[in-house]
Amino acid sequence: MDILAELGPIFCEVFDDDSIVITRQTTANDIDAWDSLSHMNMVMAVEVKFGIRFALGELPSLRNVGDLVDLTVKKLAKK
């Protein structure tokens, strides 16, 4: 499963921008509409998509999309 590829459409939908192309290095600074509310919407959309739950304590350590991919893989391994 290519988590990064599956996150792409989520980002386009949450941030309402079909031109978004994410990489492991993408950060909130790279997407104009990425604010605290859209961040939470994105996290919830990822949880729904993959059937996982993130702990609130895990979220502050996410520095970029790569960290989100790695955490998602870790959560999926525990399912």
Place of tokens 């939908």: 13
Per-residue pLDDT at 18: 96
pLDDT for residue 1 is more than 90:
no
**CATH code assigned to 3-77:** 1.10.1200.10
Return the domain boundaries, the chain. Answer: 3-77
> 16-70: per-residue pLDDT in tens?
999 999 999 999 999 999 999 999 999 999 999 999 999 999 999 999 999 999 9
pLDDT for residue 10 is more than 90:
yes
Q: What secondary structure letter does DSSP report for 33?
A: T
